[in-house]
Amino acid sequence: MAIKKILVIEDNHAILDVITLILESEAFDVAGLNKGADFINHVQEFQPDVIIMDIMLPDIDGRILLKEIKEKSTTKHIPVLMISARYNSSNYMLDDVSADDFMAKPFNIDELMDKIYALLKKSLN
């Protein structure tokens, strides 16, 4: 099986570092960003198998990026796991566009990994 790619966009450097370290220890190829600038271009270049995205970013609302991803034919198939300290599972949608899954911060590492593997499995079907 090919190495799976995960793109993480998280403005908190400590959280980004922890997620990256955990995913790399599970043999994923990980790219991390801490702001939304050029995010869509990065998605198209890196071609991740899963995106983990914070909703509250310093330069753009993550829900706007989610909408862009889900509207582009070249990226709409990529599963997106939204994470946020402010939102809960009932309010992470924007104009009928929703993430494939959601986690509230702080989150459990085992739950994070379970969700990632579930999204990878779902994307293969």
- Residues 89-99: pLDDT tens digits? 555 554 456 78
Task: Between 72 and 122, name the one with better pLDDT.
Answer: 72
- Residues 14-64: pLDDT tens digits? 999 999 999 999 999 999 999 988 898 899 999 999 999 998 899 998 889
Out of 18-22, 37-41, 77-81, 114-118, least confident range = 37-41
Element (H, E) at 40: helix 39-46
Q: CA torsion sign, 81 to 50 to 16 to 61?
A: negative
From CA 53, how far away is CA 105, in angstroms rounded? 12
Determine the residue type at 52: I
Amino acid 98: pLDDT: 79
Q: How many domains does the chain have?
A: 1
Mean pLDDT for all residues in the chain: 88
Contact 88, 59 (CB under 8 A): no
Element (H, E) at 22: helix 13-25
Structural domain that includes position 54 = 5-124
From CA 61, how far away is CA 12, in angstroms rounded? 15
Q: Which CATH number does the domain housing residue 37 bear?
A: 3.40.50.2300
pLDDT band, residue 123 (cuts 50/70/90) = confident
